[in-house]
Amino acid sequence: MDKKVVLITGCSSGIGLSLAVRLASDPDKRFKVYATMRNLAKKERLLECVKGLHKDTLDILQMDVTDRQSILYARDRVVEKRVDILVCNAGVGLMGPLEVQSLDSMRRILEVNLLGTIQTIQAFLSDMKAQGQGRILVTGSTGGLHGLPFNEMYCASKFAIEGACESLAVLLQHFNIHVSLIECGPVNTDFLVNLQKVELEDATLQQVDAQTISFYEKYLQHCSSVFQNAAQDTEDIVKVFLDAIQSPSPAFRYFTTSVVPPLTKLKMTEPDGSQYISAMSKIIFSAEDQ
């Protein structure tokens, strides 16, 4: 049987790297993986993980999702001339009080997380339609389902992806193309290191009022404790990707924990939003500030 051709964005680290390694190491060699990354100088980490054993199941290509030419160039290097499973995973974060975020930083996160994902899908869509089959998997975030203070632009980018993917899914089912979002909570990756974050000692914070800074301090403590105590490993996320890939009729949305996180549920079941806002605020900023 022909191998399924998989192309993954953002494979220099984290979820993308783990997924590429797992699929390229499939014991039954069911996948040919094109692991893409914007900076090929970072490919050693991936190569170390696969230990040179996967010459027939793995290729590494340069792809910057913000650069249409680089997407098209990578697409044209796919030897099989088709992609069965496209994984849009590349993403960046931006954290801090909204008042200090520069227009450039805000543009950048939208360019990577939103437009980068969409223009990657665009580049492969016509061929997938012509093939009459395909899978598009997108690394989503619970931050795309409910808001998180000090992550306005990150959440905006991930919310927008939800809308774009849901809209596409309605149409693409008629082409036998399944769109799925893998909704992750905190995951142990380089994400927090790579994240563009306003530090408490940054001079830019001088323009921000003391109350907001105090809330930001609490948020940073909350965030680090959540990542220390509740972050999943990339292997857990990869299992969920595999479930979606192997399902004959994949769901639109997969959660990476067995139960939908209570706050996510609250957002979905209480549509007027006030209960979610109050619960999230209580959790992060503590009861005495309500």
Ligand X SMILES: NC(=O)c1ccc[n+]([C@@H]2O[C@H](COP(=O)([O-])OP(=O)(O)OC[C@H]3O[C@@H](n4cnc5c(N)ncnc54)[C@H](OP(=O)(O)O)[C@@H]3O)[C@@H](O)[C@H]2O)c1
Known active-site residue 154: yes
Using CB under 6 A as the binding rule, whether residue 89 contacts ligand X is answered as yes
Per the CB < 8 A criterion, the answer to whether 15 and 139 are in contact is: yes
Angstrom distance (rounded) from CA 27 to CA 22: 9
Quick one: which of 71, 186, 253, 263 contacts ligand X (CB under 6 A)? 186
CB of 32: closest distance to ligand X in angstroms? 20
3-state secondary structure 199-253: CCCCHHHHHCCHHHHHHHHHHHHHHHHHHHHHCECHHHHHHHHHHHHHCCCCCCE
CB of 116 to ligand X, least distance (A): 6
Toward ligand X, which CB reaches closer, 30 or 42? 42
Q: Which of 4, 5, 6, 14 binds ligand X (CB under 6 A)?
A: 14
Give the one residue of 4, 5, 6, 9 binding ligand X; rule: CB under 6 A.
9
Q: Which of 154, 216, 219, 276 is catalytic?
A: 154
Q: Does 10 help bind ligand X (rule: CB under 6 A)?
A: yes
Examine residue 87 and tell whether it contacts ligand X (CB under 6 A).
no
Q: State the binding string over 217-256 for ligand X (x if CB under 6 A, else -).
A: ----------------------------------------
Is 32 part of any known ligand binding site? Answer: yes
Among 8, 19, 33, 65, binds ligand X (CB under 6 A): 65
Provide the sign of the torsion angle of the four alpha carbons 14, 16, 21, 27, taken in this order: positive
Chosen residue from 92, 95, 155, 284 binding ligand X by CB under 6 A:
92
Site mask, ligand X, residues 39-58, x = CB under 6 A? x--x----------------
Give the residue from 276, 184, 265 showing the smallest Cα distance to 231.
184
State the nearest-atom distance from the C-beta of 273 to ligand X, in Å.
21
Residue 135 known to bind ligand: no
Contact call for residue 101 and ligand X (CB under 6 A): no
- List the one residue from 85, 189, 198, 264 that touches ligand X (CB under 6 A): 189
Is 239 annotated for ligand binding? no
**Sheet containing 85-88, strands listed edge to edge, beginning at the edge strand earlier in sequence:** 58-62, 31-37, 4-8, 85-88, 134-141, 177-184, 253-255
* Beta carbon nearer to ligand X, 250 or 261: 261
Selected from 190, 209, 217, 233, the binder of ligand X by CB under 6 A is: 190
Q: Is 184 in the site for ligand X (CB under 6 A)?
A: yes
* Residues annotated within a binding site for substrate: 141
| Residues with catalytic function | 154
Binding site for ligand X (CB under 6 A): 9-16, 37-39, 42, 64-66, 89-92, 112, 116, 139, 141, 184, 186-187, 189-191, 194
